[in-house]
Amino acid sequence: MTSWYQRKRTRELALVACFLAPALSIFFLYRLLPLGWNVLLSFQSWSPLKAATWIGVDHYEEMLLDDDVFWDALTNTLIFIGCSPIAIALALAIALLVNSDLRGAAIYRTIVFLSYPLMTVAVGIIWRWLYDERGGFFNYVMRSSGVIDQPVKFLQSFDWALPCVIAADFWQVLGFYMIILLTGLQSIPQHLYEAARVDGVPAGARFWRITLPLLRPSIFLCIVVGILNSFTSFDLVYVMTNGGPGHATELLITYIYKAGFGQSRFDYAAALTVVQFLLLVVLTMLANKLSGGNAGSLER
């Protein structure tokens, strides 16, 4: 009997292994192996035509002590992340509005979500055009309504460029946040609200006491998406400003790309990658802590 059970168990384990193998091998080949390679490379001096030599922490030293652009890129990345709660709050407001028994809610929902499936390169092109000095929508509206009399060069301005790129990113990702939050809202049991209403709890308090706490896992997911997004908005920045003017819209990811491919410093880019990865891990853990340790909702 035991041997039958063991056989069954072995077979099941073999099955699990077979089922996991393809996905694991893809992630091994295209995520873990490159990451390990990057870690190794970050301690070496290497270029495609030069044998690697061990140089210790030189790259990290240069990055932290001697590289203004790294700090610019880091600051911008953190601003990018820091702004995502605004988008999440907006998305939450929209989700609350379309979650009700509003007629046509499905249509509104579709419209808000419509920008998410778009190609990011195309989103960049569209928004660059909206910001254009002459043919662009914003300058046209503001000029013709008399708000301004000189066109604003949004993407050419040190002050405006980053907010403009962030706005484009908001536009694309808002619908995704909304869907995540909507799901969270729909999973909140109705009877809680009924009970609160019977007890005479005002609507505002119902939101703060019931909705928000129960939405925590969804909000956590939104924050993670926001963090990942600020690290992967490469296409958007690449098309809209390419990091400029100066380094006003430089993100870590665009700087990594520039260091690697623009300046052929793959070793240095690898060190930047490692720092970015560590930052991501720390931020995600922090978000998890703040939202009450619900990251497990992904894995239960």
Partner 1 sequence: MQRRQLLKSTVAFSAATVLSAPAIAQTPKKISFLTWNLVHLEAQIKGWIQGFTSTRPGVEVEWIDKKGPEVPVYYATQLAAGTPPDIVDIQGALGLEYAAQGALVDLTPRFAAEAAIKGRYDPDYLSNWVFEGKSYMVPYYVSKTLLFWNKTRFKEADLDKPPANFDEILAAADKIKGGDKTGMLTLNFDWLYWPLMMMNGVDLLSKDLKTPTFKTAKAEEVVAKLAAATKSGAINSISWTGRWVEPNEAFATGNVGMLQAHAPAFFWIKGNGPWINGETLGAAQMPGDWATPNSHGLGISKGSKQPDLAWDFVKYLTDSDVAMQFSRVASVLTGNKAVDQAILAKFEKDDPLAFQVLKTQVEHTDKMCGNWRLGNDSRVKDAFWPEFQSAMLGRKDAKTALADAERRVLRELKRA
Partner 2 sequence: MRRAPSWPRHAIMVVVSCLMLVPFYWVLKTSLTGENIYAYPPHIVPVDPHLFHYVDVWYLIPFPRYLLNSVIVTTMAICGNLLFNTVAGYALTKQFPGRRWVVLLFLSCMLIPFQATIIPAYLITSWLGVLNTYLGVALPLLSTIICIFIFKASFEAVPKSLIDAARVDGLSEWRIVVRIMLPLSKAAIATNVVLTFIWSWNAFLWPLIVIRTSEMQTLPLGLARFLSVMEDTTGALFAFVVMVLVPGLTIFLMAQKEFIRGLTSGATKG
Q: Binding to partner 2 by residue 177, rule CB under 8 A?
A: no
Question: Strands, DSSP E only, in the chain?
Answer: 44-47, 50-54
Query: Shortest gap between Cβ of 184 and partner 2 (angstroms)?
Result: 5
Site for partner 2 in 13-42 (CB under 8 A): 13, 15-16, 18-20, 22-24, 26-27, 29-35, 37-38
How far is the C-alpha of 201 from the C-alpha of 207, rounded, in Å?
10
State whether the Cα torsion 62-68-73-78 is positive or negative: positive
Residue given tokens 């709050």 in the structure block? 89
Q: Binding to partner 2 by residue 195, rule CB under 8 A?
A: no
Query: Shortest gap between Cβ of 138 and partner 1 (angstroms)?
Result: 16
Site for partner 1 in 232-251 (CB under 8 A): 242, 244-247
CA neighbor of 95 nearest in space, from 179, 11, 208, 213: 179
Q: Binding to partner 2 by residue 184, rule CB under 8 A?
A: yes
How far is the C-alpha of 291 from the C-alpha of 295, rounded, in Å?
8
Q: Binding to partner 1 by residue 183, rule CB under 8 A?
A: no
Those residues with Cβ within 8 angstroms of residue 271's Cβ, 6 or more apart along the chain or in another chain: 41, 42, 59, 60, 63
Member of 192, 201, 210, 228 binding partner 2 (CB under 8 A): 228
Member of 29, 30, 261, 282 binding partner 1 (CB under 8 A): 261
84 binds, among partner 1, partner 2, none (CB under 5 to 8 A by kind): none
How far is the C-alpha of 177 from the C-alpha of 221, rounded, in Å?
9
Q: Binding to partner 2 by residue 207, rule CB under 8 A?
A: no
Site for partner 1 in 267-296 (CB under 8 A): none
